[in-house]
Structure 1
């Protein structure tokens, strides 16, 4: 998933409604189908972990940018505690 597939959002302190998820789900599904199709006969190892890392890191980057690196707002938007957010930022070496 890249940033050109994301709609521009204005953060107002409220978590986005679940009605926003079907287009995102479709985009992710298409990207996964495309990725797996192009693997041909190769079998990916740890696909679940790979997908989580490939989605989670850009998600954190986008949310931190959207919230102007405000960890409290970012944590609220993501539905995480600030401690968990900090741990994930460190995990992906994101300096925010």
Structure 2
């Protein structure tokens, strides 16, 4: 898998902003088929930082109904990156 297709987009929620300010953890949505080492390597290459730890969250699809139609929601995968102390991403820098 190519390095640019591994990381999709940042997850911008109240809880993720709290993690950035308090713990220095960043949450991104990643490709569902990517593994932990591919995700870590892609993140370090793209943002030029050192990652201390990567945690993965997989969301399975849920059954949904809309009137008489049935289907599934999309499956997704999120990665929470813990950076080494003293490192920050310029993407989230408000100064």
Q: Which has the higher strand share?
A: 2
Q: Which has the higher helix share?
A: 1
* TM interval, short-chain normalised: under 0.3
Report the TM-score, using the length of structure 2 for normalisation: 0.27
Report the TM-score, using the length of structure 1 for normalisation: 0.26
